[in-house]
Amino acid sequence: MKADAARRRRLAAWMALVIGLGLAAGLATGSAGFSPGAFWADLQGGDAALLLGQIRAPRTLGAALVGALLGLAGAISQGLFRNPLADPYLLGSASGAALGVVLVLAAASLGGHSLGLATAMWIERVGLVSAAFAGALAGVLLTLMLARGAVQTLRLLLAGVVVGVVLGAVSDLITVASPDALRGKQVFMLGSTSFLGWDALALLAAGLAPLLWLAWRHARALDALTLGEDSAASLGLDLGAVRLRLVLMLSLGTALAVSQAGLVAFVGLVAPHLVRRNAPGAHGWLLLGSAAMGAALLLVADVISRALIAPEELPVGVVTAVLGGVYLFRLLRQRTAP
């Protein structure tokens, strides 16, 4: 027990260090790539308030908050389904968010050609962020309706797969009918932190704080679920109600992150793995640790995406997919080695 507690303290210290360095590196990374010298010059220049205060600072802090939401959602998902391969996009939220974005882009394209000015202005006011958030929640709602609630985990999982396939097909059909929407959909699917501002930061922080508290309150229920459904029920756990609350928390966290940064791959899947592998513990620790690990991972990926081919940028979702894929491949090789 003391050894496990020491491992958790060491991992927490490492994550705090990586987050701190990631925040500093994010502020020091601009069009010239990672350059501390240019950062100090920017601080002394007249454009420091605009460049750092309105562009780099909210983007860097926003990347940390998006990563924390995805890491937390991933830990909830893996605990809910008792499956280490579960991720935040499992219940149709990703395909629903993509469909919402495609619908708005297609409608905006149509409005520019044949609809009136009032309709075009209404579409612009709705915005892609609102469409992605509503679409993600709608995808999960369809999954719950198809599964007839959250009573049976297997049915919920299968319903999520079905909804994801169907909504993805509808999204593809719309892009065929409206090719102008395809470019915007690709940007959304690859993920990006470049549009994060202080308004987005406030929304992310306002969502993360209560979700962390609610998830921590349900940590014992997740611990009970790891014992199996029969054992959890014998402990007095209302499985249907608990699963529904966990699905709602998972959905809200995922929808909020996706609406602000698009579909950032692998963070929600890999973050709980890293915490569980390096410092295992009960879900109270795993949930908070996964949120911190998600923040650290996305901060590192965001700096790499901006610095690797500066002044151009890579989509941050591509960077996280490569890093996450390499980690999981290495983990698989280690477990299958004789």
* Residue range 211-261, pLDDT digits in tens: 999 999 999 989 888 887 777 777 777 878 888 899 999 999 999 999 888
DSSP summary character for residue 238: -
Please say whether the beta carbons of 96 and 167 come within 8 A.
yes
Q: Count CB-CB contacts under 10 A for residue 52.
A: 19
| Residue that has been written with the tokens 């790539």 in this structure | 33
The secondary element (H helix, E strand) that includes residue 58 is helix 57-81
Least confident of 88-102, 109-123, 137-151, 173-187: 109-123
Confidence of residue 110 (pLDDT cuts 50, 70, 90): low
User: From CA 98, how far away is CA 95, in angstroms rounded?
Assistant: 5
CATH number of the domain that 90 lies in?
Answer: 1.10.3470.10
Q: Count CB-CB contacts under 10 A for residue 231.
A: 12
Q: Count CB-CB contacts under 10 A for residue 35.
A: 16
φ, ψ dihedrals at 34, nearest 5° = -80, 115
Please say whether the beta carbons of 134 and 102 come within 8 A.
no
How much is the mean pLDDT over the chain?
84
Q: Report the DSSP beta bridge partners of residue 29.
A: 34
Rounded to 5 degrees, what angle do the CA atoms 43, 49, 50 make?
A: 115
How confident is the model at residue 117, as a pLDDT? Answer: 47
Q: How far apart are the first and last CA of the chain?
A: 30
Rounded to an integer, the average pLDDT of 102-127 is 60
pLDDT by residue (tens digit) across 43-59? 556 565 667 777 888 99
More confident of the two residues 184 and 172: 172
| Residue that has been written with the tokens 């999981």 in this structure | 328
φ, ψ dihedrals at 265, nearest 5° = -80, 150
Confidence of residue 313 (pLDDT cuts 50, 70, 90): confident
User: From CA 225, how far away is CA 237, in angstroms rounded?
Assistant: 9
Length of the chain: 338
State what percent of residues in the chain have pLDDT above 70. 87
Q: Which two tokens stand for residue 90?
A: 């499992």
Residue 73 carries which side chain, given as an amino acid letter? A
How confident is the model at residue 90, as a pLDDT? Answer: 86
Confidence of residue 116 (pLDDT cuts 50, 70, 90): very low
User: From CA 144, how far away is CA 150, in angstroms rounded?
Assistant: 7
Rounded to an integer, the average pLDDT of 279-305 is 93
Which domain covers residue 266, as residue numbers? 2-336
More confident of the two residues 313 and 234: 313
pLDDT by residue (tens digit) across 3-24? 778 899 999 999 999 999 999 8
Rounded to an integer, the average pLDDT of 113-126 is 49
User: From CA 176, how far away is CA 139, in angstroms rounded?
Assistant: 21
Whether residue 69 is predicted with pLDDT greater than 90 in this model: the reply is yes
Least confident of 113-122, 125-134, 186-195: 113-122
Tell me how far the alpha carbon of residue 164 is from its chain's centroid: 17
Examine residue 311 and say whether the peptide bond preceding it is cis (omega within 30 degrees of 0): yes
Number of domains forming the structure of the chain: 1
